[in-house]
Structure 1
Amino acid sequence: MTTDSRISVQLVRNATVLATIDETTFLIDPMFASPGEIPPIPDTPNDRENPLVPMPNIELSYDAVVVTHRHPDHFDEAAIEELDADVPLFCQPEEAGAFTDEGFTDVRPVDDEMTFDSVTIHRTPGRHGHGELAEGMGPVSGFVFEADETLYIAGDTIWYDPVEETLGQFNPDMVVLNGGEAQFEQGEPITMGVEDINAVRNATDAAVVVDHMEAINHCLLSRDELRSETEDVLVPEDGEQIAL
């Protein structure tokens, strides 16, 4: 798939994104379920079934798949059924075996970095919450896609030192953050909220894009709330494309 821009992201829904770097497009975190097919995330203030909204009517054309982690709002049963078994699939090393067991034949775990077409893919740290809760959420990763320009997909993480260090190391042109301020009945949020997003905005000159909003029951921060409390932050609607 090609675009007129060297770097672009199109939000599909939640954290599902079509990310194009040069002439290579990656499908990030495919969640393809129809509304209500996934049970509510438990122990949250909102008990609605997921996803909360349908997929937008857009073309899903891509060269490879990247899964930041295997929570069902990032990789679901519908994706297993719909994706081609031989699609190149990049993932965390800890989760490679699960994809192979599901029948995927070109699983490429990224320990540190790997090249696909003209793009170097770097795996980066993430922390899915605070304290013991983050440890219980299991491993999560971000990914940096480096070519003539650089895209940083932060994944399900809060703002903490390794995110700041990743920004400094790679100096990305665009950053995609998982917002929504997802949380349970107890404890602090497990994805970025306004304070985290403003910290990223202040730490980089990159275009800052926020997804992971208004699609899953435990994501409580709305797009309108985020827009009203941030400046120079892009908050796309489902189906919207942002290009540099």
Structure 2
Amino acid sequence: MNVTQIRNATLVIEVNNTRILVDPMLANKSSLPKLRYFKSNQRNPLVELPDTFHHIKHKIDYALITHCQKGHFDHLDRAGVRWLRENKVTTFCTHHDLNYLSKKGIVTDVLKDKVSPFLSGKIRQIPARHTTGWLTPFMEHGVGYFIALENEPSLYLMGDTILTNEIREFVCENQPDYIVAPTGKAQFDIGAPLLLSEKEIIELASLSTGTIIANHMDALDHCRITRKDLAAMLNEHDLTERFLIPKDGETLKLERLKEPNLV
């Protein structure tokens, strides 16, 4: 299995010559609104798509959406919708997002149950929670996905989430080989963080025996932790070897560590 970091939450999973595009934000640099209004003078995204995406986009077979409503253009923007529609890319989604995506002309394949058949194995939906406090009802919380395929490493895409008790229990019980974690600590001008805080990143490492792949950094103006910040924090806590921090366009080759649980 290979995972290519594209930008922010957008990445490509490649397994047995099948490529899955996750949460496509495909807009040009500075073509989307700001997410912070104080102390921010940059429109989003802050960086262009890497050349890697343009080299592999014609090889994409499927897409996978964690959440996309209530203005979450950082997981599916207009450019992403247009690209999926024009290329007739079958897009896996939750039942909650089915009508929303179908009305946009996207070919959908709904993941009806908590655990669904997926390629050579199964995919499990893990509820995500975007924040705490008064912002909670205004957010689209979505899901994460645990992908367990035969003869491949197990992969948990956390999606947009803070660290909840349900996620803690899931990680401890299933111990994914790899966890793609939202380490950018997104936060609006007011309200609690929308993604993992520094404390939660460290706690996740203490719960997991696998390798954590960091993303959601250096692409949106409301993400407060940069790759440089994260690397320094991990070094301070002697956790550098537990994490991978891919650059945009970088491909990681993931090795299978144990037999995945397909239940």
| TM-score normalised to structure 1 length | 0.91
- More helix per residue: 2
Contact 2:2 2:253 in 1 (8 A): yes
Report the alpha carbon displacement of residue 205 of structure 1 after superposing the two structures with TM. Answer: 1.1
The 3 A distance-change label for structure 1 pair 62 and 229 is same
TM superposition shift of 1:162: 1.3
In structure 2, the residue corresponding to 1:52 is in which secondary structure?
coil
| Aligned-partner SS, 1:68 | coil
Residue aligned with 1:83, SS: helix
Task: Report what 1:76 is aligned to.
Answer: 77
**Following TM superposition, by how much is the alpha carbon of 1:47 offset from its aligned partner in structure 2, in angstroms?**
4.0
Q: Does 1:55 align with 2:49?
A: yes
Partner Cα separation in structure 1 for residue 75 and residue 60 of structure 2: 17
For these two proteins, the number of residue pairs brought into alignment is: 238
Q: Does the aligned pair in 2 maintain the 1:90–1:109 contact within 8 Å?
A: yes
Could you tell which deviates more after superposition, 130-139 or 70-79? Answer: 130-139
**Do the aligned partners of residues 218 and 44 (structure 1) sit closer, same or farther apart at CA in structure 2, a change above 3 Å counting?**
farther
> In 1, are the aligned partners of 2:133 and 2:192 still within 8 Å (CA)?
no
Q: Is it true that 1:192 corresponds to 2:196 in the alignment? A: yes
Quote the residue 1:241 is aligned against. Answer: 251
CA distance in 2, matches of 1:198, 1:24: 33
Q: What is the CA distance between 1:87 and its match in structure 2?
A: 2.1
Aligned identity (percent) is: 30
Q: Specify the alignment match of 1:107 in structure 2.
A: 109
Letter of the aligned partner of 2:73 in structure 1? P
Q: Which amino acid aligns with 1:62?
A: I
User: Would the alpha carbon gap of residues 44 and 158 (structure 1) be closer, same or farther in structure 2, given more than 3 Å must change?
Assistant: farther
Q: Does structure 1 conserve the Cα–Cα contact (< 8 Å) formed by 2:155 and 2:179?
A: yes
Query: For residues 51 and 75 of structure 2, what CA distance do their matches in structure 1 show?
Result: 19
Please give the alpha-carbon distance, in whole angstroms, between the structure 1 residues aligned to 2:204 and 2:15.
Answer: 21
Q: Pick from 25, 33, 43: which aligns with 1:31?
A: 25
* 8 A Cα contact 2:132 2:192, kept in partner: yes
Structure 1 pair 205–131 and aligned structure 2 pair: CA distance change class (3 A): same
**C-alpha RMSD of matched pairs (Å):** 1.7
Compute the TM-score of the two structures, normalised by the length of structure 2: 0.85
Displacement of 1:90 in angstroms is 1.4
- CA deviation profile, 1:30-77 (whole Å, cap 9, x unmatched): 010000111111556424211100000012333211111111011000
Runs (4 or more) in structure 1 with deviation over 6 Å come to none
Give the Cα separation in 1 of the matches to 2:103 and 2:133: 31
Partner of 2:258: none
Unaligned runs of 5+ in 2: 255-263
